[in-house]
Amino acid sequence: MIWNTLTYTGWGRVRSATAQVARPERTSSLAALQAETAAPAIGMCRSYGDSCLNDGGHAVDMTRMDRLLGFDPDTGILEVEAGARIGDIARRFAPDGWLPSVMPGTGFATVGGCIAHDVHGKNHHGAGSFGQHVVEISLMNGGKLQKVSPSKGVKLFRATIGGMGQTGVIVSAKLQLLPCKGDIMTVTERRIENLEHFLEALDASKSTYTVGWIDATAQGEALGRGILEEAETGYGLVPDAKPSRAVPFNAPRWALATPVVRFFNAAYFRRVPERGRTSVKPITEFFFPLDKLLEWNRLYGKRGFHQFQCVVPVSEAAVLRLMLDKIGSAGLASPLAVLKRMGSGRAGLMSFPMEGYTLAIDFPNRAGAEALIAELEEITEKAGGRVYMAKDATLDPSHLTKMYPDVTKFAKLVSSIDPDGQYETDQTRRLNIRSHA
């Protein structure tokens, strides 16, 4: 197997790594490779920060191992290689009445990446996290293949889900798909006037899928205003999804200057009529709205961007106002800000979700951005919440134990199966995770 020297980044393009990267196509070549040089796996590098980076080391790109291995139409259980993309699975199975039970906001994420961050979707309040629908994982550690599940090798299973690749390479998995009506979505959008109304509307919603867009530049009475989308799967005919386009160059700095963002956000808010509206869309347009614009991360310019994502308990929702206040007055907000209600579902020791509200927001990588994120992280910790590893590139290691109380258990298990730290990444080194063992 050939190792190629590659310089690559996470989706935010702030951190980069130069590593020896191999792209095996079969389990046999992966096994030979791992027996010789155990190294962390990477998928489509849709994590924003340094979770998929291994600067100066090795990484195994799993995207060629993307085969569908078997599907049982009676149970809805799909066996699939870890490099398969979640959007391709949705497109293939929705017309037959099945969807991945949980889908993140990009269809480019691989099954391995979805397990390794125990991702959540717009139905987290009802369906829980990705890992709760994983029936079995084939895991390779140092060339040795083993199967783990909720009933066999439970400790390793729970450390692998949300485990950031630290237990070895996920080769394939059996996933429980979710019945759906078909491959279209009926989506209702309505304006929400401020944060309090937003939280009430999210709590009151009976829809299977919900997501809120927030105008992070709005202040005062309008702080936290935005648009709530509620959706259900359906069937029928809709126009095909529009073809994807690519962002041809890195956008100039003025494109995300505060007055431009404020103007854009006001127009985006008013795009939905006051009385609201209902439309029908192809599933991919609802679940993966940004995927239409390939390489949209270039809109943040050469220096890239950070995404801050936290979840705070329901009882501490008031801190969201404090956060939005700080964000609005820092003049760093971008149009991309999302608010969702989370249920309690999580499947791994290091899983992100908790019952509460999750806020995700992009910041261009400008002076002051990392200091602002550090303040938001501090507020999150004090509120008993946590920051999402899939988005993180900056978290101070001192927050880890409070945010992730199972980190010691996790670190002990991982250190026992990988004593030389061969599966470590830039993120786990930065966060000093193994030191908790």
Ligand X SMILES: Cc1cc2nc3c(=O)[nH]c(=O)nc-3n(C[C@H](O)[C@H](O)[C@H](O)COP(=O)(O)OP(=O)(O)OC[C@H]3O[C@@H](n4cnc5c(N)ncnc54)[C@H](O)[C@@H]3O)c2cc1C
Residues interacting with ligand X, by CB under 6 A? Answer: 11, 40-47, 51-52, 62, 82, 104-106, 109-110, 112-114, 116-117, 119-121, 164-165, 169-170, 290, 390, 425
Q: How far is the CB of 268 from ligand X (least distance, A)?
A: 17
Nearer to ligand X, 41 or 332 (CB): 41
* Nearest residue to 86 via CA among 60, 72, 68, 69: 68
Residue 2 main-chain phi, psi, to 5 deg: -95, 135
- Of 42 and 192, the one with the shorter C-beta distance to ligand X is 42
Nearer to ligand X, 76 or 113 (CB): 113
Residue keyed to tokens 């979805």: 114
Token pair listed for 210: 């919900």
Please state the closest distance from residue 221 (CB atom) to ligand X, in A. 29
Rg (CA), the chain: 21
Q: Which helix (H) or strand (E) holds 194?
A: none
Helix (H, G, I), strand (E, B) or coil at 338: strand
CB of 222 to ligand X, least distance (A): 25
CB of 427 to ligand X, least distance (A): 7
End-to-end CA gap in the chain: 33
Percent helix, percent strand, percent coil in the chain, to nearest 5? 35, 25, 40
**Residue closer to ligand X, measured from CB, 42 or 180:** 42
Containing 164, the helix (H) or strand (E) segment is none
The one-letter amino acid code at 355 reads: E
Beta carbon nearer to ligand X, 46 or 436: 46
Cα distances from 147 to residues 25, 34, 112, 140, 153, in angstroms, run: 20, 17, 15, 9, 8
Q: CB of residue 46 vs ligand X: minimum separation in angstroms?
A: 3
Minimum Å gap between C-beta 47 and ligand X is 3
The smaller minimum CB distance to ligand X, of residues 138 and 223, is found at 138
Q: How many CB atoms lie within 10 A of CB 218?
A: 22
